[in-house]
Each structure stands twice: as structure tokens, then as C-alpha cells.
């Protein structure tokens, strides 16, 4: 592999490295998650410091040392700053949640280009609509789980095989997710206390998924329904994640 590498990437997180250097974790559509160091980023008025903040999308010039397996940022040209996200707690908490999810799940094994496009599209929407964290996270989570194969469709009960929403005799118009069985259940098979959503909410997710996120988000649901969908998607996520997500401690505030 060529030691010099240029790629578009979005910044997932940063931290100070030594007195003057900046460790930058980026998501590249070709190479996935990369930890690189911007030497001298905190020294004086370094231009590279501001354009390598979280949620910035830039063109990175990288150098890879294959012996030590370390990456260095040689140059960076800003594409999109997404600065309004950092000005609003609602937007900041949701964007932080998405970043942590991608990092700790290793994108759930999905194609990095697909995750990159989803993440940057969601950030762009949130930057323009920085008080719409709830609906943005609903669509981000559903598409993230759909793209990684952990949600297929809502049409069949994973326990009895019945068609969900097919007018069964015992049918309250809802479907439920079972973390134990790892699938969606009809109302006949579901036990009490499982997170669930209505058939209309499931149809909303399926019908909106082919649309651009900004277009899909134009159809807002009431706050109770959005939270209900969010909680069901989080139940799916928790059932497959090995590591806890720290940002979930703040996500409810960010979604109000």
C-alpha cells in the first residue's frame, strides 16, 4: 500500500495528544475508521486544528507508517464544517451518540461507504435543523440497523411465523421486539413489557427509508410516537452491542 493516502473523511472524535498534538479519529468511505495524529495542531494558530473538530468533513492527506502502524495527518482541506451542531445541545448529544455508535460497533460490520454516506447525510440535516435531534436519530438508527442487516422487515412474527398486521383474531395493531429471541413478535407471542410500535409507525419507517433523510424528516410524528420508535430501535441496538454506549445517559435530554 502507498504510504501517502488522500481521502475524504468525517471526524468522529478528537483528543489532545501530548502538549501540542491532536489525535483525530476519522471515518473514511474507503478505509473505514482511522486514528491519525495532527502534529502541532494545538501549537499557535494552527489552521488544521479547527477543521479537524468533530463532525467536520474534510479532504485528508495522510501518511501511514506500516512498521509502527501509525497514521499522520500531513494536510487537510475543509469541505463542510457542520459548526451549528456544536452550538446546540440537542444536536450535539445526538451527533455524539451517532459517533460513539459507529466507533464502538465498528459500524456493525456494514460497508464503510454506506455508513459514511448515512452519517454525513444525517450530520448535514442536523446542522441545518439543529433542534430536530429526535427525528434525525430515529431515521439514523433505523437506516443504520437496516444497512447492517439487523432489521429486515416487520412483516412476519419471528416466533410463530404469522403475518404481522394481517388481521389476526388477537391483534392490537402493534408489533414488539424481543431482545431474547432477537426478532419482532406479533401481539399473540409477545410478553408484557416488551418495546413495541404500531403498524403505522413500522410502515412509516419502511416507506421513508428510500428517501433522503431531509425529505423523510419533513413528515413529523407526535413526540410520543417518535420516542416510542426510538426506544424500540434502541432495544434492537442493545441486544446486539457488546459495549455500553455512554452517550445514552444524555440522549433523552438531547431529544426533547
Judge if 72 and 125 occupy the same domain. no
pLDDT digits (tens, 9 = 90+) for 110-166: 999 999 999 999 999 999 998 888 899 999 999 999 999 898 778 888 888 888 765
Q: 193 burial class (0-12, 13-18, 19+ CB within 10 angstroms)? A: exposed
The pLDDT, as a whole number, for residue 124 is: 97
24, 59, 81 — which closes off a domain? 81
Cut 0.85: pTM above it = yes
Q: 77 and 57 in contact (C-beta within 8 Å)?
A: no
Judge if 147 and 101 occupy the same domain. yes
Measured between alpha carbons, how far is 156 from 20 in angstroms, rounded to an integer?
56
CATH number (domain holding residue 248):
1.20.1440.120
Average pLDDT on 164-173 reads 56
Judge if 243 and 131 occupy the same domain. yes
Using alpha carbons, list the distances in angstroms from residue 158 to 180, 241, 244.
12, 20, 26
29, 49, 81 — which closes off a domain? 81
Judge if 141 and 14 occupy the same domain. no
Judge if 110 and 183 occupy the same domain. yes
Judge if 141 and 247 occupy the same domain. yes
3-state SS track over the chain: CCCEEEEEEEEEEEEEECCCEEEEEEEECCCEEEEEEECCCCCCCCHHHHCCCCCCEEEEEEEEECCCCEEEEEEEEEEECCHHHHHCHHHHHHHHHHHHHHHHHHHHHCCHHHHHHHHHHHHHHHHHCCCCHHHHHHHHHHHHHHHCCCCCCCCECCCCCCECCCCCCCCCCEEEEECCCCEEECCCCCCCCCCEEEHHHHHHHHHHCCCCHHHHCCCCCCHHHHHHHHHHHHHHHHHHCCCCCHHHHCHHHHCC
**11-25, 26-40, 61-75, 183-197: which range is least confident on average?**
183-197
Number of domains in the chain: 2
81, 109, 137 — which closes off a domain? 81
Judge if 54 and 15 occupy the same domain. yes
Judge if 64 and 90 occupy the same domain. no
Could you tell me the residue range of the domain that residue 25 belongs to?
Answer: 4-81
Judge if 10 and 111 occupy the same domain. no
Judge if 73 and 183 occupy the same domain. no
Judge if 91 and 207 occupy the same domain. yes
CATH number (domain holding residue 12):
2.40.50.140
Judge if 63 and 163 occupy the same domain. no
**Which pLDDT band holds residue 253 (cuts at 50, 70, 90)?**
low
Amino acid at each position: 500500500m502507498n504510504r501517502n493516502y488522500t481521502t475524504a473523511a468525517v471526524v468522529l472524535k478528537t483528543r489532545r495528544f501530548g502538549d501540542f498534538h491532536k489525535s483525530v479519529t476519522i471515518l473514511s468511505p474507503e478505509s473505514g475508521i482511522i486514528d491519525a495524529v495532527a502534529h502541532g495542531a494545538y501549537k499557535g494558530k494552527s489552521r488544521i486544528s479547527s477543521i479537524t473538530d468533530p463532525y467536520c468533513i474534510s479532504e485528508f492527506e495522510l501518511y501511514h507508517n506500516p512498521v509502527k502502524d501509525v497514521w499522520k495527518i500531513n494536510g487537510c482541506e475543509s469541505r463542510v464544517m457542520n459548526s451549528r451542531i456544536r452550538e446546540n445541545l440537542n444536536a450535539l448529544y445526538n451527533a455524539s451518540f451517532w459517533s460513539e455508535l459507529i466507533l464502538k460497533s465498528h459500524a456493525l460490520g456494514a460497508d464503510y461507504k454506506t455508513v459514511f454516506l448515512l452519517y454525513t447525510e444525517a450530520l448535514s440535516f442536523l446542522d441545518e435543523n439543529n433542534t430536530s435531534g429526535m427525528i434525525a436519530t430515529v431515521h439514523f438508527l433505523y437506516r443504520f440497523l437496516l444497512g447492517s442487516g439487523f432489521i429486515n422487515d416487520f412483516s412476519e412474527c419471528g416466533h410463530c411465523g404469522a403475518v404481522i398486521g394481517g388481521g389476526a383474531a388477537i391483534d392490537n395493531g402493534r408489533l414488539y421486539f424481543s431482545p431474547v429471541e432477537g426478532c419482532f413478535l406479533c401481539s399473540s407471542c409477545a410478553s408484557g413489557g416488551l418495546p413495541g410500535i404500531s403498524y403505522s409507525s413500522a410502515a412509516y419507517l419502511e416507506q421513508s427509508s428510500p428517501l433522503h433523510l431531509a425529505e423523510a424528516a419533513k413528515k413529523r410524528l407526535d413526540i410520543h410516537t417518535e420516542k416510542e420508535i426510538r426506544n424500540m430501535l434502541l432495544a434492537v441496538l442493545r441486544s446486539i452491542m457488546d459495549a455500553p454506549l455512554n452517550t445514552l445517559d444524555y440522549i433523552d435530554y438531547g431529544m426533547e
